[in-house]
């Protein structure tokens, strides 16, 4: 058992030498993977039994009481950790309320909007809207920011939380490309629907759809469910080895006949 663990670590550490930007992590190796789910900290799977956690997670991991646990400090390419942080933030929804309209977007997208807006400065006429959205996002960010890897995404969160305490005024209103997310959200769904009509002539898994349409996984799941309820898309499940069955999506028979 110990020899197998050492081999995994040696292989992994040799690979990380090729990267320049690395970040410190706690490497947890155990066969009792289910117990790791009790930990609030985000993690990155590096192998069958190896997981990277933020350094602050060390005490939480020890407290779970895993008997075969092996912990050590290591370096991981920052880009891998950044991607994991971003994917996590993209999967978390935040609800935005504007006048009589309400819509859902990802924490990652809303953070990008408000960070750009904050850098531009806030005009007096839009201060109420900005503060409403900023406080709403703050309430969702604060409970999770502590548990992320120490990458640029986490730094952007803390910069935003500090920034909204000293907002600079602007002489012009913010007209960034993401300002009106309600319109963008509808336009993106329409574009997604058109792309789905093309790419689902053959069955595809969710990962393929996300890659081809370039939308985040959270939006893809929600929009596919909507298309499924409209009878445009059909979903089936396929089991491949150990683990949960994968969802496979394809156009309904009616639409396949119509588009021939």
Has residue 131 been placed in a domain? yes
Has residue 248 been placed in a domain? yes
CATH number where 17 lies: 3.30.70.790
CB 84 within 8 A of CB 47: no
Has residue 203 been placed in a domain? yes
Q: Is the domain of 73 the same as that of 95? A: no
**Adjacent-strand bridge partners of 187:** none
pTM of the predicted protein model: 0.64
Q: Is the domain of 211 the same as that of 238? A: yes
Q: Is the domain of 98 the same as that of 149? A: yes
Provide the 3-class DSSP secondary structure of residue 61: helix
CATH number where 232 lies: 1.10.10.10
> What local confidence, expressed as pLDDT, does residue 230 receive?
86
Rg (the chain; Cα; Å): 22
Q: Is the domain of 6 the same as that of 30? A: yes
Has residue 144 been placed in a domain? yes
Has residue 50 been placed in a domain? yes
Cα(189)–Cα(191) distance, rounded to whole angstroms?
5
> What local confidence, expressed as pLDDT, does residue 237 receive?
80
Has residue 117 been placed in a domain? yes
The domain boundary, picked from 77, 112, 139, lies at 77
> What local confidence, expressed as pLDDT, does residue 28 receive?
94
Has residue 217 been placed in a domain? yes
> What local confidence, expressed as pLDDT, does residue 5 receive?
43
Count of structural domains, the chain: 3
Which stretches of the chain score pLDDT less than 70? 1-20, 99-102, 176-187, 239-244, 254-260
- In the structure encoding, which two tokens stand for residue 239, read together? 């089991």
> What local confidence, expressed as pLDDT, does residue 20 receive?
52
57 is in which domain, residue-wise?
2-77
> What local confidence, expressed as pLDDT, does residue 21 receive?
83
Has residue 172 been placed in a domain? no
Backbone angles phi, psi at 30, to 5 degrees: -165, 155
> What local confidence, expressed as pLDDT, does residue 12 receive?
40
Q: Is the domain of 247 the same as that of 189? A: yes
> What local confidence, expressed as pLDDT, does residue 173 receive?
85
The domain boundary, picked from 105, 131, 163, lies at 163
> What local confidence, expressed as pLDDT, does residue 1 receive?
42
The domain boundary, picked from 77, 103, 118, lies at 77
CB 42 within 8 A of CB 89: no
């Amino acid at each position: 058992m110990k020899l197998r663990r050492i081999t995994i670590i040696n292989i992994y550490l040799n690979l990380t030498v090729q990267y320049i930007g690395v970040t410190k992590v706690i490497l947890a190796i155990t066969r009792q993977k289910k117990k790791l789910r009790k930990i609030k900290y985000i993690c990155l799977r590096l192998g069958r039994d190896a997981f990277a956690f933020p350094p602050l997670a060390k005490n939480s991991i020890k407290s779970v009481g895993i008997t075969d646990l092996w912990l050590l400090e290591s370096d991981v390419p920052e880009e891998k950790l950044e991607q994991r942080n971003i994917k996590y933030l993209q999967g978390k929804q935040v609800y935005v309320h504007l006048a009589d309209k309400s819509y859902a977007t990802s924490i990652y997208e809303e953070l990008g909007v408000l960070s750009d807006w904050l850098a531009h400065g806030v005009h007096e006429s839009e201060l109420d809207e900005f503060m409403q959205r900023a406080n709403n996002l703050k309430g969702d960010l604060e409970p999770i920011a502590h548990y992320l890897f120490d990458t640029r995404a986490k730094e952007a969160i803390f910069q935003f939380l500090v920034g909204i305490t000293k907002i600079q005024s602007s002489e012009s209103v913010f007209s960034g490309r993401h300002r009106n997310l309600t319109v963008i959200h509808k336009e993106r769904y329409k574009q997604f629907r058109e792309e789905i009509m093309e790419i689902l002539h053959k069955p595809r898994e969710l990962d393929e759809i996300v890659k081809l349409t370039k939308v985040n996984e959270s939006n893809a799941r929600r929009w596919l469910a909507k298309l499924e309820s409209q009878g445009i898309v059909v979903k089936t499940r396929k089991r491949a080895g150990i683990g949960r069955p994968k969802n496979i999506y394809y156009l309904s028979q009616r639409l396949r006949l119509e588009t021939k």
